[in-house]
Structure formats: structure tokens, C-alpha cells
């Protein structure tokens, strides 16, 4: 689905990511993690075609990314950005924008397009928002609208930049379940996530960026360990098992720097 070969990316004279070699296969659900400033958003912008690489090659569905026209890219990949200013339009109109690659140049939106937009709002928990102005929504409501717009594109790849940011715990769980359902139905997704535990519960593969390079890449159980997380984030992080799902979960230990590493605590995953 996605391949990066010797890719370096930057803003002006500043190189943010250097010499990346990555492949995301169709059907994968990948979490993109790392400290602030490690390049997660920059990488997603590159995958979306919004930030051309300084060096190297990016291919999407076997085609060079730069060779794809905007409408072709929109049919293949949809994005949920971290920051987007809500316009003074009704929510349904915003979600319908996701259909632009599916309509003819001269044609307008059809009843089918509107049905798909409404279905996407229903799926993201935003059905009651359809007739409200986007610039009057809360931050969490606006995040749900952005997700609905991306789903309305019906692309094979979904790129998410902190898609659950601003959502309360219940809405975060709903967003994670939505992503898992879509992935089970064949959607490929790359999701930048700050919440380590949400990433471990949702994603099958985790890629950690640090200092502009891939520091870790692998299945959750292999890379989500005390040693790895503590090294990546340069602070002590404990890891235990989720009591229901059995997946690893991280625990910060502020103020515990003087405690011995073998002090009594939860069952750990090293």
C-alpha cells in the first residue's frame, strides 16, 4: 500500500525525517508514536502528498506519489488532520466535501452522496450535528466531523493525526472501536497517537520515531516494553497487562525515581 525508500523530509532548510525506509501493507493498522517533535505529523503529511520529500521515493498503491493527481490521491488515501479550522458551513456540507473525488466535474452531490455522508456521521456519533454550523462545535464534536468527512471519501487508506484528541474517554473508545471495525473490513490505517495505551489497545503494529528516524518498529507485544518505552521517552515507564484484553499498558511513575526498579508493583512486561 505505502512504501518509503530512503526518504528525507523537512521544512525549508530543516530536515525533520532522515533516510526512512518503511512499508505498510494493505490491511495493516499501524500506530505512529514518539516524543513531541519526532516527526509524526511530518510523516503523515508526506504520505498524504502534502509535503514532498527532499530525497527518496514514496509510492502509494504501487505508483509514485508525485505522479498522482489530487483526485486520484483522494480516492486512495483520506486524512484526518491534527489541526483544521472549522468553516462557517453546516456540518453536512463539510462532510460532503469528502465526496469531491467521487463526483464528476460538472455534477453535483447526489442522494447517494448525501446518504453516505449521513451514514458516516452516524458511525462517528455525529448524526445530531448535521444541521449545525461547523464553527459552533466543540473541539471533540469537530474531531468527529473530520473523521466522518474522511470516511465519506471511501479511500483504501486512512491517515489519522491525533484523531481522538479532544474526545472524552467514552468517545475515544468509540473511535477506537470504529477504527477496529473498519480495519477488520479491509481498511489500511496509519494513526499518529500520543496516548500510548490507546495505541497498544487499537493498533497491531507500532512505529516509534525519535530524532527524525525510526527507533522501533514491530508488533505491539515486541516493542511495547518497559525498556523500550523508557528509552524512547527518556523517563521511567512501567508496563503491565490489561486485565481484560491482556495487551500491554504503560504507567508513568512521577516521583518514583528514587525507588529501586525491582520495587513491588504491577506485573510487568519487559
Q: Do 206 and 249 belong together in one domain?
A: no
Most confidently predicted of 21-25, 66-70, 107-111: 21-25
pLDDT of residue 105: 65
Q: Do 179 and 253 belong together in one domain?
A: no
Strand, coil or helix: what is 207?
Answer: strand
Q: Do 207 and 83 belong together in one domain?
A: yes
pLDDT of residue 133 exceeding 80, the answer is: yes
Q: Do 13 and 49 belong together in one domain?
A: yes
Q: Do 85 and 176 belong together in one domain?
A: yes
What number of CA atoms fall less than 13 Å from residue 30's CA on the CB side? 24
Taking residue 242's Cβ as centre, other Cβ atoms within 10 Å add up to 12
pLDDT of residue 106: 66
Rounded distance between C-alpha atoms, residue 102 and residue 243, angstroms: 44
Q: What crossing angle do the helices spanning 139-152 and 111-123 adopt, rounded to 10°?
A: 130
Q: Do 229 and 217 belong together in one domain?
A: no
pLDDT of residue 192: 95
Q: Do 107 and 220 belong together in one domain?
A: yes
pLDDT of residue 136 exceeding 50, the answer is: yes
- Judge whether 223 and 206 are in contact, CB under 8 Å: yes
Q: Do 185 and 243 belong together in one domain?
A: no
- What is the pLDDT averaged over residues 151-160? 95
> Which of 224, 244, 261 is the C-terminal boundary of a domain?
224
Rounded distance between C-alpha atoms, residue 98 and residue 128, angstroms: 19
User: Of 4, 94, 96, which is closest to residue 51 (Cα–Cα)?
Assistant: 4
Instruction: Provide the domain count of the chain.
Output: 2
- Judge whether 19 and 214 are in contact, CB under 8 Å: no
* pLDDT tens track for 31-73: 999 999 899 999 999 999 999 999 999 999 999 999 999 889 9
Q: Nearest 5°: CA angle at 36, between 150 and 14?
A: 90
Q: How far is CA 168 from the centre of its chain?
A: 17
* pLDDT tens track for 205-236: 999 999 999 999 999 999 999 999 999 999 99
Mean pLDDT over each residue of the chain, to the nearest integer: 90
- What is the pLDDT averaged over residues 85-90? 93
Q: Do 169 and 236 belong together in one domain?
A: no
* pLDDT tens track for 246-270: 999 999 987 665 445 554 444 445 4
Rounded distance between C-alpha atoms, residue 143 and residue 88, angstroms: 16
pLDDT of residue 259: 46
pLDDT of residue 57: 95
- What is the pLDDT averaged over residues 154-167? 89
Q: Nearest 5°: CA angle at 188, between 104 and 198?
A: 125
- Judge whether 90 and 129 are in contact, CB under 8 Å: no
pTM: 0.89
Q: Do 267 and 179 belong together in one domain?
A: no
Rounded distance between C-alpha atoms, residue 198 and residue 194, angstroms: 8
> Which of 194, 209, 224 is the C-terminal boundary of a domain?
224
Higher-confidence residue of 187 and 108: namely: 187
Give the domain range for residue 253.
225-270
Q: Do 113 and 185 belong together in one domain?
A: yes
Tell me the pLDDT band of 83, cut-offs 50, 70 and 90: confident
Can you give the CATH number for the domain in which 109 is found?
3.40.50.300
Place of cell 533516510: 19
Q: Do 140 and 202 belong together in one domain?
A: yes
pLDDT of residue 169 exceeding 90, the answer is: no
- What is the pLDDT averaged over residues 123-132? 94
pLDDT of residue 256: 63
Q: What crossing angle do the helices spanning 139-152 and 169-184 adopt, rounded to 10°?
A: 10
Amino acid at each position: 500500500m505505502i512504501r518509503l525508500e530512503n526518504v528525507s523530509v523537512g521544512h525549508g532548510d530543516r530536515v525533520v525525517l532522515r533516510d526512512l525506509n518503511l512499508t505498510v501493507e494493505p490491511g495493516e493498522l499501524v500506530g505512529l508514536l514518539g516524543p513531541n517533535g519526532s516527526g509524526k505529523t511530518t510523516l503523515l503529511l508526506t504520505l498524504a502528498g502534502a509535503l514532498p520529500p527532499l530525497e527518496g521515493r514514496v509510492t502509494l498503491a504501487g505508483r509514485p506519489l508525485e505522479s498522482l493527481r489530487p483526485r486520484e490521491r483522494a480516492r486512495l488515501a483520506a486524512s484526518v488532520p491534527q489541526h483544521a479550522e472549522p468553516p462557517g458551513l453546516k456540518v453536512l456540507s463539510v462532510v460532503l466535501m469528502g465526496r469531491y473525488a467521487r463526483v464528476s466535474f460538472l455534477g453535483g452531490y447526489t442522494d447517494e452522496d448525501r446518504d453516505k455522508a449521513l451514514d458516516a456521521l452516524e458511525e462517528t456519533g455525529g448524526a445530531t450535528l448535521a444541521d449545525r454550523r461547523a464553527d459552533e462545535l466543540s473541539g471533540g464534536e469537530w474531531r468527529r466531523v473530520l473523521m466522518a468527512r474522511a470516511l465519506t471519501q471511501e479511500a483504501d487508506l486512512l491517515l489519522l493525526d491525533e484523531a481522538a484528541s479532544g474526545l472524552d474517554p467514552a468517545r475515544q473508545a468509540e473511535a477506537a472501536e470504529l477504527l477496529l471495525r473498519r480495519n477488520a473490513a479491509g481498511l489500511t490505517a496509519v494513526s499518529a497517537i500520543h496516548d500510548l495505551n490507546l495505541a497498544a489497545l487499537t493498533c497491531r503494529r507500532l512505529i516509534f520515531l525519535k530524532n527524525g528516524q525510526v527507533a522501533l518498529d514491530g508488533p505491539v507485544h515486541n516493542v511495547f516494553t518497559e525498556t523500550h518505552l523508557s528509552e524512547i521517552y527518556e523517563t521511567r515507564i512501567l508496563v503491565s497487562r490489561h486485565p481484560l484484553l491482556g495487551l500491554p499498558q504503560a504507567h508513568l511513575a512521577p516521583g518514583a525515581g528514587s525507588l529501586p526498579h525491582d520495587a513491588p508493583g504491577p506485573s510487568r512486561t519487559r
